[in-house]
């Protein structure tokens, strides 16, 4: 939606950061889209408001980056789990948490390129893949509406799992 900051935080720390941004933003309204799922803590430090830039590397590659996975909200922990699986196969990926695309797009091009890297980018989103092609060459998400089941069943059905994401990343980067 134009003129609004939409936040989709991945854990309690990002939620607090996004809340702080929403409270201090003077020129536009904010929307926080929170999950009903119990999500794991992804960060332990809150010294710097990482969410203020809209997107940041939440889990860097251990060695030279071969790909980047962008995730938001409840999919960030899935992306980090896929990163660990890929690491076991010798594939190094960075994971970017993108709680607010509007703020990310306001950052300098140098910052955006630093975060996204110069290797293939794959996004994972429990909602529509619409818009993620601005950043990613491959998008994984749910482009239908109306499915109803427990989250773990829906995630399995739509391939929003660490195993499926790792497989998709591996296949995608080997084709490049």
Q: Residue 99 CB: number of other CB atoms within 10 A?
A: 32
- Rounded to whole angstroms, the Cα distance separating 1 from 14 reads 21
Task: Please check whether residue 72 is in contact with residue 18, taking contact to mean a CB–CB distance below 8 angstroms.
Answer: no
The pLDDT of residue 124: 97
What span, in angstroms and rounded, lies between the C-alpha atoms of 161 and 58? 18
Q: Of 3.40.50.720, 3.30.70.3270, 3.40.50.920, 3.20.20.110, which CATH number belongs to 51-175? A: 3.40.50.920
Per-position b or e across 6-31, b if 16+ CB within 10 A of its CB: bbbbbbebbbebbeebbeeeeeeebe
Q: Where are the domains positioned within the chain?
A: 51-175
State the pLDDT at residue 176.
61
Closest CA to 59 of 51, 49, 48, 70: 70
Query: In a structure prediction context, what are the per-residue pLDDT tens digits for the chain, which is 176 residues long?
Result: 789 999 999 999 999 999 999 999 999 999 999 988 889 999 988 899 999 999 999 999 999 999 999 999 999 999 999 999 999 999 999 999 999 999 999 999 999 999 999 999 999 998 888 999 999 999 999 888 888 888 888 889 888 999 999 999 999 999 86
- Residues 24-61: pLDDT tens digits? 999 999 999 998 888 999 998 889 999 999 999 999 99
Rounded (10°) CA dihedral 121, 166, 14, 58: -60
Nearest to 54 by CA among 126, 115, 11: 115
Strands 56-59 and 93-97 turn out to be antiparallel
> Token pair 């992804």 is at which residue?
42
């Amino acid at each position: 939606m134009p003129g609004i900051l939409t936040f989709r935080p991945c854990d309690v720390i990002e939620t607090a950061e996004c809340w702080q941004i929403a409270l201090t933003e003077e020129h536009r309204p904010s929307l926080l889209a929170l999950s009903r799922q119990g999500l794991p803590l992804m960060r332990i430090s809150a010294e710097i408001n990482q969410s203020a830039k809209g997107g940041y590397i939440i889990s860097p590659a251990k060695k030279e980056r071969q790909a980047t996975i962008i995730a938001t909200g409840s999919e960030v922990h899935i992306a980090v789990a896929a990163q660990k699986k890929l690491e076991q196969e010798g594939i190094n990926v960075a994971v970017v948490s993108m709680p607010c695309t509007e703020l990310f797009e306001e950052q300098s091009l140098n910052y955006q390129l630093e975060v996204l890297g110069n290797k293939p980018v794959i996004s994972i989103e429990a909602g529509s893949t619409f818009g993620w092609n601005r950043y990613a060459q491959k998008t994984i998400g749910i482009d239908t509406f109306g499915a109803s089941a427990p989250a773990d069943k829906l995630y399995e059905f739509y391939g929003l799992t660490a195993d499926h994401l790792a497989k998709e990343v591996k296949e995608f980067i080997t084709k490049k």
